[in-house]
Amino acid sequence: MKRRRYRVGAFVAALAVVFPSVAFGHGWVGAGGSYYQLTHGYGRFEGLYVKGVFGEGSHTIWDWEVDHARIFGYEESYGVFGVTRTFAPRWYGYLSMAASTTSNVVPKDRIDTSLSYKALADKRLVATAGYTGIRFRDGHDDRSGWANLTAYFPAHWVAMAGHSWVTSNPGAVRAQRSFVAVSYDHGGWSEVTLRYGWGTEAYLPIGALAALVGFRSHTLSVAWRQWLGLHWGTDLSAERFASPYYRQTGGSIGVFYHF
């Protein structure tokens, strides 16, 4: 109990440091809700979120998100705090930490780190390698390495592809997943991303003492950010997840303010 309070308290303290500086930098804040319907008697997911980015245009960019949701019948709160740092004209890195309150179906804690290199003379091809470590309250953990390629084309088009290698313990259950995506990214007007992911899952917790293990799945999603004014607009997303155990369909809707 003390350890959980420490993680949540540290996260709140970190936000308290960042929030007062929002008025003096560039970034955005957003809030909204999500809803997903599941088949085979798994019910539905419902949630609310607040998130944001601070420091756009600088060498150090901070991001954060706080979610509260009901998943597989469990109430959970989850927070993420991350930073992107540019080290040189062609190199930048990312680090984030996350923790939850009491849920058995989202990570107890998580760390993500990556290093990116801007290739080609015009820096329009970005290669990224990363590591993700996740611990769950049911006693298992995930360790994954991953690599992505992002290509920036004229007229605001972006193409992405990536692959991850996951090992879950106990049992050394291995999984691999891939994704491809294409985006139209015209900041200040409209941003749309279509993404398709496929592969195998290692562990998927669905309760305190229950998990789905070693199965294939695929996910199709679309995310749309549309400016409706000089500084604000809407965030919309839709997603369909399919596996041998259940299908999940839904999305989210929110608003954002850019400062």
Q: How far is CA 59 from the centre of its chain?
A: 21
Phi, psi for 12 (deg, rounded to 5):
-60, -40
Residues for the chain: how many in total?
Answer: 259
pLDDT of residue 9: 53
Q: pLDDT by residue (tens digit) across 167-195?
A: 988 888 899 999 999 999 998 999 999 99
pLDDT of residue 20: 47
Q: pLDDT by residue (tens digit) across 212-222?
A: 677 899 999 99
Q: Which residue has the tokens 């500086």?
A: 21
Domain total for the chain?
1
H/E run at residue 55: none
Pairing of strands 232-242, 210-227: antiparallel
CA dist list (Å): 182 to 57, 136, 156, 194, 195: 23, 32, 11, 6, 7
CA dist list (Å): 154 to 64, 183, 185, 233, 244: 30, 12, 11, 24, 40
- Per-residue pLDDT, averaged over 17-45, amounts to 80
Q: What CATH number did the domain enclosing 221 receive?
A: 2.40.160.40
For 39, the domain range is 2-258
Dihedral of CA 183/186/187/188: which sign? negative
- Average pLDDT over the chain, rounded to an integer: 89
**How far apart are the C-alpha atoms of 166 and 246, rounded to whole Å?**
22
More confident residue, 227 or 1: 227
Q: What's this model's pTM, rounded to 2 decimal places? A: 0.85
Residue 6 has pLDDT above 50, yes or no: no
Phi, psi for 68 (deg, rounded to 5):
-135, 125
pLDDT of residue 242: 95
H/E run at residue 41: none
- Per-residue pLDDT, averaged over 108-132, amounts to 97
Measured torsion, CA atoms of residues 208, 14, 68, 227, in degrees rounded to the nearest 10:
-140
b (16+ CB within 10 A) / e for 86-122: eeeeeebebebbbbbbebbbbbbbbebebebebeeee
Q: Which residue has the tokens 């998100």?
A: 65
Q: pLDDT by residue (tens digit) across 44-83?
A: 999 999 999 999 999 999 999 999 999 887 888 999 999 9
pLDDT of residue 206: 65
Q: pLDDT by residue (tens digit) across 8-19?
A: 555 455 445 445
Residue 211 has pLDDT above 90, yes or no: no
| pLDDT band per the 50, 70, 90 thresholds, residue 23 | very low
pLDDT of residue 40: 87
CB 117 within 8 A of CB 136: no
- Per-residue pLDDT, averaged over 122-137, amounts to 96
pLDDT of residue 244: 87
- For the chain, the maximum distance between any two Cα atoms, rounded to a whole number of angstroms, is 53
